[in-house]
Chain A
């Protein structure tokens, strides 16, 4: 596997379900991100982890709970979601260093549908 992988690619869940999205990066990067992509809206940054520590949480509802057990893996735990949470959830990683560009590399995303 190369780059950034995400599983599952598609997920349909009811409002009372609990599920988790998984992201794995094979690039040796030290930062990982969760984004939400909805139709006709800009990509919305949800969470940022740098060196496995959450450093940014953009007012995301508590029904989304991230977890970063190591620098290669990132999870997004979902519970009691709403239909408006249906979207494409993208994971990205980058190598952050002083003076560097920190280019972000994206995974293919998980298409989430909440019924």
Chain B
């Protein structure tokens, strides 16, 4: 059973547009929700993260929206740029785990056309 469901699998956006990636989870024990960005040939890199006690977090052009009651969270990339073309993974950490165990979504391949 997949703990974190991510959609869409791929996304094509025009330069300057808004990219939106959605994730959903079932486990209410999750207490930390990071997003990772992965470029070809590189490992995933932490992009932005949120805790469930806030509904939104913004860092530059990247915003996480969090809906605790719906158990959903999303990544919004404003003014998308070709350099944002990468694979994005949402993840969730089990609050009961002292090991920082993360459950990842399947990833979204974002392509931003110039």
Chain A residues with CB under 8 Å of chain B are: 4, 6, 31, 40-43, 45, 48, 50, 55-56, 90, 92, 94, 96, 98, 101-109
Number of A-B contacts (CB under 8 A): 60
Residues of B within 8 Å of A106, CB to CB, are 36, 43-45
Number of interface residues of B (CB under 8 A): 24
Closest partner residue, chain B, to A44 (CB atom): B104
Asked whether A43 lies within 8 Å of B89 as measured between CB atoms, the reply is: yes
State the Cβ distance, A88 to closest chain B Cβ, in Å. 9
Closest partner residue, chain A, to B101 (CB atom): A45
B41 within 8 A of A: yes
Residues of B within 8 Å of A45, CB to CB, are 101-102
B52 within 8 A of A: no
Query: In the complex, A106→B101 CA distance in Å?
Result: 14
- Which residues of B, 15-42, contact A by the 8 Å Cβ criterion? 32, 34, 36, 41-42
Asked whether B2 lies within 8 Å of A42 as measured between CB atoms, the reply is: yes
- Which residues of B, 44-69, contact A by the 8 Å Cβ criterion? 44-46, 49
